[in-house]
Amino acid sequence: MRTILIKASESRQLQRQIAGRRMTRAIAMRFVAGDTLDEGIEVSHRLARTGKTVTLDYLGESVTHEAEARAAAKAYLEAVARLEEEQLSSGVSLKPSQMGMVFSPALCTELLGGIADTASGRCDHITLDMEGSDVTEATIALVEQMHGDGYTYVGCAVQSYLHRTESDVKRLSALGASVRLCKGAYAEPADIAYQARDEVDASYSRCAEYLLAHGPYPRFATHDHRLIHFVTRTAARMHRPADDFEFQMLYGIRTTLQDELVSRGYRVRVYVPYGDQWYPYFMRRLAERPANLMFFLRQLVSR
Ligand SMILES: Cc1cc2nc3c(=O)[nH]c(=O)nc-3n(C[C@H](O)[C@H](O)[C@H](O)COP(=O)(O)OP(=O)(O)OC[C@H]3O[C@@H](n4cnc5c(N)ncnc54)[C@H](O)[C@@H]3O)c2cc1C
């Protein structure tokens, strides 16, 4: 079912059929701040009042035309300026495929450089989301290129389901890049990715342990309370201060756990997506949790 939903997230035809329904949109908005930057900023202020920071994500991915990539980059420039104006201690997350990486790596580098220039001194980080395994190497190479050009606040996500990730974590840590560690939200084959949940979790723990020992400001992106417990215990054992790493969760997911971590003195950053291209993001959230899918289907049937 997970693989089917992830495949469905990539279908433009299904997007047209499903995303157009008002009810689908209403459910998707549980995970998305809204269509506009104003809504993203409003949610960010609300989260800041509860002791959390944010990373803003302008939704969009797998663009196929230069104009779309340039429009996305422009949206990020506006977001960076607004974050500064609103005095929100924050950063941005973006997808390399949204900047044209798949059809023009040169365009992607140019646009990311422009965003990094504007973000300098204004944002506390830029994180490249990690997408399918076809762009993993290119995404890490892009972070290396950015660091070479002096943009040391650019990092990326890595996915513990990939066999290669333990070595990527070492490579990025040696570079001095801040890494966001997640489990992985795409469908990858068994020759390159762990398929069993306990293997993905064991890989997450190994990567987390390495990052706590050697990584600059690790970002642990998970809602899994067992892994969160592993991170807090390991950090304590290593005497890694609680202000030298952070937990990250997605907007709308496990809010009580977010609050509990804040009350225990941990840093929590919420990933806040906004924009009207929410369909693939929403489908991945359905794929992650059968209960979400059941809720969605029940609402569809009851109409
Ligand atoms: C801040 C952040 C950034 C991310 N960036 C990326 C990225 O760049 N690339 C990438 O491939 N993936 C990314 N992900 C997604 C990630 O890879 C997982 O797919 C997702 O976080 C679910 O895994 P989990 O660690 O929360 O553990 P799970 O074992 O899947 O979930 C643990 C518990 O969390 C809750 N939960 C998890 N997901 C949901 C959901 N969708 N709806 C409701 N409850 C849920 C449930 O209670 C579940 O039992 C990101 C996740 C986060 C939190």
Q: In the predicted model, what is the mean pLDDT of residues 226-236?
A: 98
CB–CB of 182/288 below 8 Å? no
β 179-182/219-221 pair status: parallel
Residue nearest to atom 41 of ligand 1 (CA): 285
Ligand 1 centre to CA of 13 (Å) is 26
Nearest ligand 1 atom, CA 127: 8
Nearest ligand 1 atom, CA 156: 8
Q: In the predicted model, what is the mean pLDDT of residues 28-38?
A: 95
pLDDT in tens, 105-129: 999 999 999 999 999 988 889 999 9
The rounded distance, in Å, linking the Cα atoms of 83 and 291 is 34
Residue 139, number of CB atoms within 10 A of its CB: 22
The closest of 182, 183, 178 to 211, measured between CA atoms, is: 178
Active site residues: 129, 180
Ligand 1 centre to CA of 56 (Å) is 17
pLDDT in tens, 37-94: 999 999 999 999 999 999 999 999 999 999 999 999 999 999 999 999 999 989 999 9
The rounded distance, in Å, linking the Cα atoms of 152 and 128 is 13
Model confidence at 303: pLDDT above 70: no
User: Which residues have any ligand 1 atom within 6 Å of their CB?
Assistant: 129-130, 157, 159, 182-186, 221-224, 248-250, 253-254, 271, 285, 288-289, 292
Q: CB-based burial of residue 140 (10 Å sphere; 0-12 exposed, 13-18 middle, 19+ buried)?
A: buried
Mean pLDDT computed over every residue of the chain: 94
Structure tokens at 67: 């104009």
The closest of 223, 221, 268 to 243, measured between CA atoms, is: 268
Ligand 1 centre to CA of 298 (Å) is 22
The rounded distance, in Å, linking the Cα atoms of 214 and 234 is 13
Residue length, the chain?
Answer: 303
Residue nearest to atom 29 of ligand 1 (CA): 224
Ligand 1 centre to CA of 223 (Å) is 6
